[in-house]
Amino acid sequence: MATGIQLLASFVYMGICLYAPSLALSSVTSLPIWASVLLMGLICSFYITIGGVKAVVYADVVQTLLMFVGVLVVSVICCQQLGGPANVWTIAGQGGRLEFFNMDPSPFVRHTFWSTQIQGAYVALSMAGFNQPQFQRFISVRTLSLSQALCSLFALGLLLLWGTFYFSGLVAYAVYSDCDPFTSGRISKPDQIMPYLVTDKLNHLPGMSGLFVAAVYGGVLSSLSSHGNAIACVIWVDFLKDLPYFSNFSERRSTNIVKFLSTMTVMAAICIGLLVGELGTIFQVTNGLLNAIKGPLGGIFLVGICAPWVNKKGAAVGASLAFLFNIWLAIGKLARGGGNPEKMPLSTLGCPENVNHTLQDSLNDVLTDGLNDVLTSGLNDTVGFTFATAAVPVAEGSGHTVYDISYCYSGITGIINTFILSTFLSILTGPVAPHELEPELVNGTCYRVYERLWRRLVRNTNLESLSMAPTGKELQTDSLCKLQDHPSKSHPGERPADA
């Protein structure tokens, strides 16, 4: 079940990875989005099939550096044209784009201090804790200490990368603070703002458009190739490897099967990529839908590590119910529009056509109605136009529904629901006794706390009869007595001999 959830999330993510750069390419060329998705999918499929994991690793390094440098160069050049970072920050602040300490506890507010902290913790845990492509990177090195160092370096790299991306968004807003391209119809999707910025403001620099598109493609192909290879390995190891037909395959034949699965994975991602554009903006789909899918997956991992009392039935049913709830919530948000953010003020008063139109109207008013009428009329027209283009839509009614809960809570909701439901169901069906566990697979502190609690409950009740049947030999009565008399024998990582 966990493998199925991981595969579903990876397929959706790969579809997003194919769709995102296609918007960039369609903004600077006449190539249709569908053609770009198909072309990039075929190219990626070719090099991960021919090169395997080695090609993915080397390509990852080059593509990530290219992505970082490309976005950074665009941001720095535009920032210089605006007069420096201080002016960008000032314009963003005046437009209400900077908000750090909104302490509103309501879960219906899209971004607050609390919701963003929860979302950040979930994303960090999800990416470094139970992400198959990251796991393949971490185990590709020789030692555990080096893998842990890479995990820390990975976190630092994400801070630098995301910081650059978020600042590039502020730069784009500052550039178009008085002439929004989306509101004025110059772009068809908000996701096209950065490619449009490059072609509109930096077209005097030879090769800049190509550099930016290459940066976008490099970053996305990095994720696409990693997930494609990861999905193929997961399908082979978890579903095919132990089947009678495949069990006697040589290493060479097994490698060919994995390469074939990689190709089929990318082909499936192409189909998903053609559908992603209909679900909303990339940010909305990525954070809303993927968090809903992967939240219960994180719950399964954390329950296995930190809740030693949960049995197989409880974990399976609890995670299934949590998954169904999250998917119902995500689909409801997309269907009802509850996941769409409120539109912040955007102005088109500085667009050339509006400036010319305003000047022409003012000149006509001067010739016909006099200066005083012009001032009054111009003020009214300006205010009216500003509100028409910058108004925040107000939802009908004052009540909120579950679909209006911020997307920041969708991932952690899956974890919490899995934890609560699996615990409740395990208690009903019989919790796992400490002697039935493999202590090296459970968090040491959680194991010791649960073991002490179990001993107290066993003394007071007949809880032993409620536990699941051990997978090996039945624990003898005198063994449990010895376990209670000698708690040191039950230290995590050291199973009692009698058990």
Tokens of 257: 């099967």
User: Helix (H, G, I), strand (E, B), or coil: what is residue 18?
Assistant: helix
Residue reference for tokens 């918007």: 23
Per-residue pLDDT, 422: 95
Per-residue pLDDT, 352: 75
Per-residue pLDDT, 442: 92
pLDDT in tens, 171-227: 999 999 888 888 888 887 777 788 888 888 887 888 877 777 777 777 777 777 778
Q: What is the pTM of this model?
A: 0.73
Q: How many helices (H) and strands (E) does the chain have?
A: 16, 0
Per-residue pLDDT, 331: 83
Q: Which residues contact 473 (CB under 8 A, 6 or more apart)?
A: none
Per-residue pLDDT, 397: 43
Cα gap 407→311, rounded to integer Å: 30
Per-residue pLDDT, 407: 85
pLDDT averaged over 10-residue windows placed end to end, the chain, 499 residues: 88 82 72 82 77 67 79 87 89 87 89 91 85 81 87 84 88 89 82 82 80 75 77 88 86 84 84 73 72 90 93 93 91 69 76 60 49 41 36 48 85 93 93 89 92 81 49 40 41 42
Cα gap 334→337, rounded to integer Å: 5
Cα gap 411→326, rounded to integer Å: 9
Per-residue pLDDT, 356: 53
Per-residue pLDDT, 341: 63
Tokens of 409: 């809570």
Q: Which residues contact 92 (CB under 8 A, 6 or more apart)?
A: 98, 170, 173, 174
- Is residue 240 within 8 A of residue 246, CB to CB? The reply is yes
pLDDT in tens, 229-254: 788 888 888 888 888 888 888 888 88
Cα gap 224→220, rounded to integer Å: 6
Per-residue pLDDT, 496: 42
Cα gap 355→349, rounded to integer Å: 7
Per-residue pLDDT, 394: 40
Per-residue pLDDT, 487: 43
Per-residue pLDDT, 353: 67
Per-residue pLDDT, 476: 40
For residue 178, CA distances in Å to 172, 274, 379, 409 come to 11, 33, 17, 33
Question: Computed from CA positions of residues 92, 93, 96, 102, in that sequence, does the dihedral angle turn out positive or negative?
Answer: positive
